[in-house]
Amino acid sequence: MQPIRRSDGAIDNAVHLMARDVARETVVCHGCREFVFMMWPFGWDVHSASRCAGIGGSDPEKRKLEFKRRFRHLFRDARGSGR
């Protein structure tokens, strides 16, 4: 699967891509499809903790875990090294 970009350049199909495809790119949030990460994955924790409409619940830590569980393949540390 190749990255699909919106007219503004943000990658719109991150959920179907791999970490290497989206790292440091402008990426539409794969949870809510509204928020745009200006340099994925920078800011993912803040966004998922409270703002992402695609993640349920109100506990920030649980929300972050849910976000990372669903989109684990978009993090470079998918196999456990580093952040």
Which residues in this chain contact Zn ion in the complex, by CB under 5 A?
29, 31-32, 35, 52
Nearer to Zn ion, 3 or 54 (CB): 54
Tokens standing for residue 18? 């791999």
Tokens standing for residue 29? 């949030």
Min dist. Cβ of residue 47 to Zn ion (A): 6
Nearer to Zn ion, 35 or 40 (CB): 35
Min dist. Cβ of residue 77 to Zn ion (A): 20
User: Would you say 25 and 40 are in contact if contact means Cβ atoms under 8 Å apart?
Assistant: yes
Quote the CA–CA distance of 4 and 1 in Å, as a whole number: 9
